[in-house]
Amino acid sequence: MKNIEKYLRENGYADRGLNEKFEFRDIHKDEADQAVEIEQICFPPHEACSKAHMKDRIEKVPELFLVAIDKETGKMAGFLNGIATNEGKFRDEFFTEADLNEPTGENVMLLGLDVLPQYRGQGLATEIVFNYLCREEKKGRKRLILTCLDGKIKMYEKMRFVDLGISDSVWGDEEWHDMCYTINVEGK
């Protein structure tokens, strides 16, 4: 099946009423400070993207951010960001070198999924990921690849990512798993 949006909605993966409370869209460059702050809240210092790298990413690759905006406050509640590439394997340089972005790359390396604590537990991260998938399917991407720690494997499996085993990544001196979502879901 080519149309992920149709598949996800038919199978109850998305559209849990969150579109009424949140707007899902590309980031605006003047929202960089909000993203920096959210990243510092969501991740411990050794895992978080630095302010400089986050700003560089937003400057150079804004089209690969997807933010959820609380319609009541107009502020960001969470976001997902990535970098496009024709490479097939995750490496840590994607975290720090926004210049590696290949705009028409067939894959997207996902660099961070953040939801502010007060917005957690209502499916917002899932909705952000699925909005991202739908958007990138339209651009013809083949795979979305991310790294996660042991404790998050099940969460991403629920979002239909597949665990590829231990990653080459040594980000923050931790052991990561590579996980992959193949966008063409035909036959799955």
Ligand X SMILES: CC(C)(COP(=O)(O)OP(=O)(O)OC[C@H]1O[C@@H](n2cnc3c(N)ncnc32)[C@H](O)[C@@H]1OP(=O)(O)O)[C@@H](O)C(=O)NCCC(=O)NCCS
Residues that bind ligand X (CB under 6 A): 42-43, 113-115, 120-126, 148, 151-152, 155, 158
Location of structure tokens 């997902």: 80
What's the min distance (Å) between Cβ of 19 and ligand X?
A: 14
Smallest CA-to-CA distance from 159 within 178, 141, 179 is with 179
* Cβ distance to ligand X smaller for residue 40 or 96: 40
Fill in the amino acid letter for 44: P
CB contact at 8 A, 35 and 76: yes
* Cβ distance to ligand X smaller for residue 10 or 157: 157
Tell me the H-state helices in 43-123. Answer: 51-60, 93-96
Smallest CA-to-CA distance from 58 within 80, 97, 88, 27 is with 27
* Cβ distance to ligand X smaller for residue 48 or 100: 48
What's the min distance (Å) between Cβ of 140 and ligand X?
A: 25
Exposed (0-12), middle (13-18) or buried (19+): which is 44, by Cβ within 10 Å? exposed
Q: How far apart are CA 21 and CA 74, in angstroms?
A: 11
* Cβ distance to ligand X smaller for residue 43 or 142: 43
Phi and psi, residue 113, nearest 5°: -120, 120
What's the min distance (Å) between Cβ of 81 and ligand X?
A: 12
What's the min distance (Å) between Cβ of 104 and ligand X?
A: 26
* Cβ distance to ligand X smaller for residue 126 or 184: 126
What's the min distance (Å) between Cβ of 97 and ligand X?
A: 20
